[in-house]
Protein backbone atom coordinates (compact mmCIF):
# COMPACT_ATOMS: atom_id res chain seq x y z
CA UNK A 1 0.00 0.00 0.00
CA UNK A 2 1.10 3.46 -0.93
CA UNK A 3 0.95 6.51 1.30
CA UNK A 4 0.09 9.73 -0.29
CA UNK A 5 0.51 13.03 1.53
CA UNK A 6 -2.07 15.55 0.35
CA UNK A 7 -0.96 18.38 2.59
CA UNK A 8 0.40 21.52 1.01
CA UNK A 9 4.09 21.72 0.65
CA UNK A 10 4.58 24.08 3.50
CA UNK A 11 2.70 21.91 5.86
CA UNK A 12 4.42 18.80 4.94
CA UNK A 13 7.10 17.64 7.20
CA UNK A 14 10.35 17.41 5.61
CA UNK A 15 11.40 13.88 5.43
CA UNK A 16 14.88 13.13 6.48
CA UNK A 17 17.11 11.96 3.76
CA UNK A 18 17.25 8.25 4.17
CA UNK A 19 20.51 6.57 3.64
CA UNK A 20 20.01 2.94 3.45
CA UNK A 21 21.29 1.62 6.78
CA UNK A 22 21.86 -1.85 5.49
CA UNK A 23 24.02 -0.59 2.63
CA UNK A 24 26.22 1.42 5.01
CA UNK A 25 26.55 -1.52 7.34
CA UNK A 26 27.59 -3.81 4.52
CA UNK A 27 30.07 -1.23 3.20
CA UNK A 28 31.63 -0.69 6.65
CA UNK A 29 31.85 -4.43 7.29
CA UNK A 30 33.35 -4.93 3.83
CA UNK A 31 35.96 -2.20 4.44
CA UNK A 32 36.81 -3.71 7.85
CA UNK A 33 37.13 -7.16 6.30
CA UNK A 34 39.31 -5.75 3.55
CA UNK A 35 41.63 -4.07 6.10
CA UNK A 36 41.64 -7.28 8.17
CA UNK A 37 42.58 -9.34 5.12
CA UNK A 38 45.31 -6.85 4.17
CA UNK A 39 46.74 -6.94 7.71
CA UNK A 40 46.47 -10.74 7.77
CA UNK A 41 48.18 -10.94 4.36
CA UNK A 42 51.08 -8.75 5.51
CA UNK A 43 51.40 -10.71 8.79
CA UNK A 44 51.39 -14.03 6.96
CA UNK A 45 53.79 -12.68 4.33
CA UNK A 46 56.13 -11.47 7.08
CA UNK A 47 55.89 -14.83 8.86
CA UNK A 48 56.57 -16.70 5.61
CA UNK A 49 59.65 -14.52 5.02
CA UNK A 50 60.82 -15.17 8.58
CA UNK A 51 60.30 -18.91 8.11
CA UNK A 52 62.18 -18.83 4.80
CA UNK A 53 65.08 -17.01 6.44
CA UNK A 54 65.05 -19.48 9.33
CA UNK A 55 64.89 -22.37 6.84
CA UNK A 56 67.89 -20.97 4.95
CA UNK A 57 69.77 -20.59 8.23
CA UNK A 58 68.89 -24.14 9.27
CA UNK A 59 69.95 -25.53 5.89
CA UNK A 60 73.30 -23.76 6.29
CA UNK A 61 73.66 -25.29 9.77
CA UNK A 62 72.70 -28.72 8.40
CA UNK A 63 75.32 -28.44 5.66
CA UNK A 64 77.91 -27.39 8.25
CA UNK A 65 76.95 -30.35 10.43
CA UNK A 66 77.15 -32.71 7.44
CA UNK A 67 80.69 -31.49 6.80
CA UNK A 68 81.56 -32.03 10.48
CA UNK A 69 79.99 -35.49 10.41
CA UNK A 70 82.11 -36.40 7.37
CA UNK A 71 85.21 -35.15 9.19
CA UNK A 72 84.25 -37.16 12.27
CA UNK A 73 83.71 -40.26 10.14
CA UNK A 74 87.15 -39.78 8.59
CA UNK A 75 88.63 -39.40 12.09
CA UNK A 76 86.78 -42.51 13.24
CA UNK A 77 88.12 -44.42 10.24
CA UNK A 78 91.64 -43.23 11.06
CA UNK A 79 91.10 -44.13 14.73
CA UNK A 80 89.89 -47.58 13.69
CA UNK A 81 92.95 -48.07 11.48
CA UNK A 82 95.27 -47.06 14.32
CA UNK A 83 93.44 -49.33 16.76
CA UNK A 84 93.88 -52.21 14.31
CA UNK A 85 97.58 -51.38 13.99
CA UNK A 86 97.96 -51.15 17.77
CA UNK A 87 96.18 -54.49 18.20
CA UNK A 88 98.43 -56.01 15.55
CA UNK A 89 101.52 -54.58 17.25
CA UNK A 90 100.34 -55.90 20.63
CA UNK A 91 99.72 -59.31 19.08
CA UNK A 92 103.11 -59.33 17.39
CA UNK A 93 104.88 -58.11 20.51
CA UNK A 94 103.19 -60.79 22.61
CA UNK A 95 104.37 -63.41 20.13
CA UNK A 96 107.72 -61.81 19.42
CA UNK A 97 110.77 -63.03 21.21
CA UNK A 98 112.53 -60.58 23.44
CA UNK A 99 116.13 -61.46 22.62
CA UNK A 100 117.51 -58.85 24.98
CA UNK A 101 115.59 -60.37 27.90
CA UNK A 102 116.68 -63.89 26.96
CA UNK A 103 120.36 -63.01 26.66
CA UNK A 104 120.37 -60.85 29.80
CA UNK A 105 118.72 -63.65 31.76
CA UNK A 106 121.08 -66.32 30.47
CA UNK A 107 124.08 -64.06 31.02
CA UNK A 108 122.95 -63.37 34.59
CA UNK A 109 122.57 -67.05 35.52
CA UNK A 110 125.64 -68.44 33.77
CA UNK A 111 128.21 -69.71 36.31
CA UNK A 112 131.75 -68.34 36.24
CA UNK A 113 133.35 -71.50 34.86
CA UNK A 114 130.79 -72.19 32.10
CA UNK A 115 130.87 -70.88 28.51
CA UNK A 116 128.09 -71.02 25.96
CA UNK A 117 129.29 -71.91 22.48
CA UNK A 118 125.92 -71.74 20.66
CA UNK A 119 122.33 -70.82 21.33
CA UNK A 120 119.55 -71.60 18.86
CA UNK A 121 115.81 -71.18 18.81
CA UNK A 122 113.73 -72.64 15.98
CA UNK A 123 110.21 -71.77 14.80
CA UNK A 124 108.73 -74.42 17.09
CA UNK A 125 110.30 -72.69 20.12
CA UNK A 126 112.84 -75.47 20.63
CA UNK A 127 115.98 -74.15 22.31
CA UNK A 128 119.41 -75.77 22.03
CA UNK A 129 122.31 -74.55 24.13
CA UNK A 130 125.80 -75.96 23.63
CA UNK A 131 128.88 -75.07 25.60
CA UNK A 132 131.80 -76.01 27.82
CA UNK A 133 132.26 -76.10 31.59
CA UNK A 134 135.08 -76.80 33.96
CA UNK A 135 133.01 -79.24 36.08
CA UNK A 136 129.75 -81.12 36.13
CA UNK A 137 128.75 -79.05 39.13
CA UNK A 138 128.77 -75.86 36.99
CA UNK A 139 126.45 -77.54 34.47
CA UNK A 140 124.10 -78.65 37.29
CA UNK A 141 124.03 -75.11 38.71
CA UNK A 142 123.30 -73.71 35.22
CA UNK A 143 120.41 -76.21 34.72
CA UNK A 144 118.95 -75.33 38.11
CA UNK A 145 119.15 -71.59 37.34
CA UNK A 146 117.49 -72.11 33.94
CA UNK A 147 114.55 -73.85 35.62
CA UNK A 148 114.15 -71.01 38.12
CA UNK A 149 113.99 -68.31 35.42
CA UNK A 150 110.60 -69.40 34.04
CA UNK A 151 112.04 -68.56 30.63
CA UNK A 152 112.27 -72.19 29.50
CA UNK A 153 110.37 -75.37 30.19
CA UNK A 154 111.02 -79.08 29.62
CA UNK A 155 114.72 -78.53 30.22
CA UNK A 156 116.80 -81.64 29.59
CA UNK A 157 120.52 -82.31 29.46
CA UNK A 158 121.25 -83.88 26.06
CA UNK A 159 124.78 -84.94 26.93
CA UNK A 160 127.76 -83.94 29.04
CA UNK A 161 131.14 -85.53 28.33
CA UNK A 162 134.74 -84.79 29.03
CA UNK A 163 136.86 -83.67 26.13
CA UNK A 164 140.52 -82.83 25.79
CA UNK A 165 143.75 -84.17 27.28
CA UNK A 166 144.91 -83.58 30.86
CA UNK A 167 145.57 -80.94 32.15
CA UNK A 168 143.25 -79.21 29.62
CA UNK A 169 140.06 -81.14 30.25
CA UNK A 170 136.64 -79.53 29.78
CA UNK A 171 133.13 -80.87 29.79
CA UNK A 172 131.21 -80.41 26.55
CA UNK A 173 127.40 -80.26 27.04
CA UNK A 174 124.14 -79.74 25.20
CA UNK A 175 120.87 -78.61 26.80
CA UNK A 176 117.48 -78.87 25.06
CA UNK A 177 114.41 -76.96 26.23
CA UNK A 178 111.18 -75.32 25.14
CA UNK A 179 110.88 -71.50 25.10
CA UNK A 180 107.82 -70.08 26.90
CA UNK A 181 106.63 -67.52 24.33
CA UNK A 182 104.73 -64.50 25.57
CA UNK A 183 104.63 -65.49 29.21
CA UNK A 184 107.26 -63.07 30.46
Tell me what percent of the residues of the chain surpass a pLDDT of 70.
88
Distances (CA, A) of 56 to 43, 50, 63, 110, 158: 20, 10, 11, 80, 85
Q: Report the alpha-carbon distance of residue 173 to residue 140 in Å, rounded.
A: 11
Instruction: Assign 18 a pLDDT band (cuts: 50, 70, 90).
Output: low
Mean pLDDT of 105-126: 87
Give the tens place of pLDDT for each residue, 47-103.
Answer: 999 999 999 999 999 999 999 999 999 999 999 999 998 888 777 666 666 777 788
Q: Where are the domains of the chain?
A: 19-96, 99-179
Domain spanning 99-179: CATH 3.40.50.10860: no
pLDDT (0 to 100) of residue 184: 44
Check residue 18 and report its DSSP letter: P
Amino acid sequence: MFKINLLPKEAKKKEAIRIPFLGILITVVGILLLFGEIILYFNLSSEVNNLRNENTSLEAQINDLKIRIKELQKLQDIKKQYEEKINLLNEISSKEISWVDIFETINGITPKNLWIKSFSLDSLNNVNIEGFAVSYKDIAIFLDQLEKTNLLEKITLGFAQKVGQPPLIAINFRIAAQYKRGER
